[in-house]
Amino acid sequence: VWVALKRLDLNDRVTALREVHIPRGTKMTTVRQILAHSFRLDTAQLTFKKSMIGTNVSLQIRNSRGCLIPLNSCIPVNSKQPYVLEVAKYFQHSARPRSTAIHKSLKSRLQGIVRRIERLEELLPQIKQKQHDRMIKDIELLTRSIFFIKECRWQSHAAGKECLNEHHSG
């Protein structure tokens, strides 16, 4: 397997190209040790992707398209493009902690939101009372409207009967 070493922890350049022989059926830890020894990497500092063995840097291998490949004995043989073995510091590509100005701004915004929530909690009984009063008013208005509609229907029904009686008697 052709492998190029890329030290992201140092300078982001490919520093070495080697042919590494990985026998079929080799255990995963042995494959990792073979890669580390082939490029003379300090195994005490290494931790491999998806493993928490070391603490300083991690190893991961990518194909020519930049896709991660599992570090095991089933790495396909390549002849045209070398795989890239990347050495990176842990959390190297993570964002730096926020500045104090942003921290203060976020803290003041959070405090403002907390104050607004506290104010709403204080006003909650009044809000519930206003909502109850409004509902009572709406119910009274609907009751009056229903009574008025019933009255109109009754009057129109009574007037319709009188009208019918006049037509039959004449």
The reported pLDDT for the residue numbered 98 is 65
46-69 pLDDT, tens digit each: 655 444 444 567 778 888 888 888
State whether 69 and 109 are in the same domain: no
Q: H or E stretch including 146?
A: helix 100-169
State whether 12 and 46 are in the same domain: yes
Span of 96-110, 120-134, 144-158 with lowest mean pLDDT: 96-110
4-18 pLDDT, tens digit each: 888 877 776 777 888
The domain boundary residue, chosen from 48, 66, 89: 89
State whether 53 and 31 are in the same domain: yes
pTM value? 0.48
Q: How far apart are CA 164 and CA 118, in angstroms?
A: 68
State whether 113 and 165 are in the same domain: yes
- Residue 168's domain comprises 98-170
Q: How far apart are CA 123 and CA 81, in angstroms?
A: 69
Count of structural domains, the chain: 2
